Amino acid sequence: MIITDETKKAETKRFSFFILSVSSVASAFIGLASTIILAANFGTGPEMDAFLIALVVPKSLSSILMTCLAMLAVPMFVKVKEDHGERSAWRLATRIFLLAGVALSTASILLALLSDQAAQLIAPGLSYDDQLMTAMFIAILAPVLTVGALETLMKSFFQAMGRFSVTVYASVLGSLSYLALLYFLIPIYGILGAVVAVTSQYTLILLFQLTIGLWGKSNLVDLRSDDEQRKLLQTLVSSAAVLTFTTSVRRLNPLLEKYFASQATTGSVSYISYGARIVTIINNFYLRNVSQVLFPSIASHFAQFKPRRAMEEVILGSRLNMFIVFPLIAGIGVIREPLIRSIYERGAFTSEDTTNVSLALFYGSLFLLQPMVQSMTSKALYSVHAIKFISFDAYLKLAIYVALMYILMPRYGFIGIILAGSLTITWPLHFIYLYFRIGPYDFRSFLTSLLRILALSSLMWVCCTYWAKLVTFQSQTLTDLIQLITTPVLGISVYAGGAWLMNYPEMTLAVEKLLTRKKKKMFSKKPS
C-alpha cells in the first residue's frame, strides 16, 4: 500500500510538471500573439507608449503588495491543513482572501483617483496630451492591482493543495479570452479597447480560478473564525508588512525603466517592450526550468550539511545555463532583424521600428547574463537562509541600475536604458559570499567552462555572420526565411561540433546525472 501511494504521488508530480510546462509554452505563445496584434495596430506610436506605461503601474504595485503575502500565507495554509484538516485551511484562506481584497480594492480606488499624479510621476517625459491619455489608462487599469494580486494569492493556495491544473486552465482560458477581446474591441475602440481587454483578462482569470477550483466545494468556504485563526492572521499581516517593505525594492525596476524611457525618443517604451517579450520567453523556457529541477537537490544537500555537494549542483546548473545562453546571444545578434521583421513588421509596424526593436532585442538579450547564474546561486542563498545578504543584494542591484541609467541613458538613449538593466550583474558576489559562508569549493571548473564557452560562441558567431552575408536574395521575405531556418542550423552544428572536438562535458552532464539518479533508484528498490 505504501509503495502504491508513493507511486501515485510520483505520477501526480510528473503530471503536474508536464501540465505546467505545457501551460508555460501555451501562455508564452498566446502572449506573443497578443503582442503581434498590438504591434500591427499601434506600432510604436505615443498611444502604445502610454498603454505600456499605464499597464506597468498596477502590475508593479500588485507584485509589491501581494508577492510576500502569498509566500508567507502558503506555509501557514499547509500547516493548518495538516493540523486541522482541509475545511479549516480553506476557512483561513477565505479570510485571507477577503482581507486582502478589501485592502487591495482600497489601493485600486486610490490609484484611480490619483491617476493624473501617477502619470506625471512615472512618465515626466511625455507631452501634456500623452500624460492625460496615460492617466486615463491608469484609471481604467487600476482594478488590475486588485484582481491580479488576488489571482496570485489563489494560485498559491491551489498549488499548495497540489491542484496545479486549476491555475493552468484558468490562465490559458483567460489568455484566450484576452486574444478574442483584442480581436473584437480594437477595431471598434482602438487603443482603449486594448486597455479594457487587459482589465477583463485579469478579472476573467480570477473568476475562472474560483469557479474551477471551488466548483462543488462551497462548503469549504466559511467566514467563521476563532481565536487561533485571528492570531494566525495577525502574525501573517505583521510579517508580510515587514517583508514587503524590505523586498519591494526588487520590483521597482519596471517602474524606473518606464520613467527613464518616457524621457527618451518617442517609441522607446515600445521598442524595449517588444524586444523584452522575446527575451522573457527565452528566460521562462529554459533558465527557470533548470533552476527549478536542481533546486530540490541543492536544498537537500544543504539540509544534510553537505555544502560542497550543494555547490556542485549550483555550478552544474550554471554551466548548463552558460552552455545555452552564450551561443543564444550570439545567434540573436546575427538574425535579430529578420526575426523581428518576420514576427512584427505588418500594419502600423514599420521597417524603422524593425531596426530599433532588433537593437532592443540584441542588447536586451544580454540581460540573460544575470539570471543564467543567479537563478542557481539564489537557490543556494535561500537554502542557507542568507536573508541579510539577499536584502543587501537587492539594494546593491538598485544602486547599480540607477547609476548605469544616469550614465548611459543620456548618451545612448533607449539602448542605454536596456544596457543599464543588462549590465546590473551581482552574481560574482554571490559566489564570494557563499565561499566565506560555507567554506571552499571547486570554482575552477566554472571559470574554465566560461572561457571555453566564450571561445565556442565566438567561433559560431563568425561562421553565422559570414553565412548571413551570403544570403542575399532579392525578395526580402525569402531572405528572412532562409536566414531564420539555415543560420540557427549552421550555428548549432558549428557549436556542437566544436564542443564535441573539445570533449566538452556539458553535452553529457545532464544525461549522466539523470542516469545516475535512475541507477540509485533501481538499487534502492532491490530487496536486501
Within its chain, how far is the Cα of 438 from the centroid? Answer: 29
Q: How confident is the model at residue 3 (pLDDT cuts 50, 70, 90)?
A: very low
Alpha-carbon dihedral of residues 340, 344, 346, 349, nearest 10 degrees? -90
- Percentage with pLDDT > 90 across the chain: 35
User: No. of H helices and E strands in the chain?
Assistant: 21, 0
Question: Grid coordinates standing for 393?
Answer: 543584494
- Amino acid making up residue 117: Q
**Residue 45 DSSP label:** S
The DSSP code sequence of 213-281 is: HHTT-GGG------HHHHHHHHHHHHHHHHHHHHHGGGGGHHHHHHHHHTTSSTTHHHHHHHHHHHHHH
Signed CA dihedral, 392, 395, 398, 400: sign only: negative
pLDDT at 403 over 90: yes
Is the Cβ–Cβ distance between 194 and 182 less than 8 Å?
yes
pLDDT above 90 (res 318): no
Ranges 104-108, 265-269, 416-420, 442-446: which has the least confidence: 442-446
Rounded to whole angstroms, the Cα distance separating 308 from 337 reads 44
Between CA 398 and CA 407 the distance in angstroms is 14
Using alpha carbons only, give the angle 302, 308, 313 rounded to the nearest 5 degrees: 75
User: Residue 512 pLDDT more than 60?
Assistant: no
Q: What is the DSSP string of 145-179?
A: HHHHHHHHHHHHHHHHTT-HHHHHHHHHHHHHHHH
pLDDT at 108: 95
pLDDT at 358 over 80: yes
CA distance 39 to 52: 12
* CA separation for the pair 506, 449 (Å, rounded): 9
Give CA–CA dist 45/377, Å, rounded. Answer: 40
Predicted confidence (pLDDT) at residue 518 exceeds the cutoff of 60: no
Q: How confident is the model over 34-67, as pLDDT tens digits?
A: 999 999 999 988 999 999 999 999 999 888 888 7
What per-residue confidence (pLDDT) applies to 525? 52
Distance CA 338, CA 108 (A): 42
Question: Cell numbers at residue 402, please?
Answer: 540607477
- Rounded Cα distance between 93 and 340, Å, is 45
Of 105, 102, 203, 109, the residue nearest 151 (C-alpha)? 203
13-17, 42-46, 246-250, 379-383: range with highest mean pLDDT: 42-46
As given in the structure block, the three cell numbers for residue 444 are 575552477
Burial 149-166 (b: 16+ CB within 10 A, else e): bbbbbbbbbbebbeebbb
Cα(466)–Cα(487) distance, integer angstroms: 10
Left if phi > 0, otherwise alpha if psi is -120 to 50, otherwise beta: which for 305?
left
First CA to last CA distance, the chain: 19
Distance CA 244, CA 456 (A): 43
Domain boundaries, the chain: 14-253
Q: Which residue has the higher pLDDT, 302 or 472?
A: 302
Q: What's the pLDDT tens digit per position in 445-478? A: 788 888 888 999 999 999 999 998 887 766 777 8
Crossing angle for the helix pair 506-525 and 307-344, to the nearest 10 degrees: 130
Confidence of residue 528 (pLDDT cuts 50, 70, 90): very low
Q: What pTM does this model have? A: 0.82
Residue 473, φ and ψ in degrees, nearest 5: -80, 160
Q: Is 471 left (phi over 0), alpha (psi -120 to 50) or beta?
A: beta
Q: How confident is the model at residue 1 (pLDDT cuts 50, 70, 90)?
A: very low
Q: Which of 363, 279, 368 is nearest to 323 (CA)?
A: 368
pLDDT at 295 over 70: no
Whether the pLDDT of residue 493 is over 60: the answer is yes
- Residue 31: exposure state from Cβ atoms within 10 A (0-12, 13-18, ≥19): middle
**Residue 508 neighbours by CB under 8 Å, 6+ apart:** none
DSSP letter at 283 equals: I
Lowest mean pLDDT among 85-94, 426-435, 498-507: 498-507
Average pLDDT, the chain: 82
Residues in the chain: 528
From the centroid of its chain, how far is CA 464? 29
- Residue 363 corresponds to which cell in the numbers above? 542588447
CB within 8 A of 488, min separation 6: which ones? 331, 335
C-alpha separations of 359 from 122, 266, 387, 440 in Å: 24, 16, 37, 41
SS3 category, 370 = coil
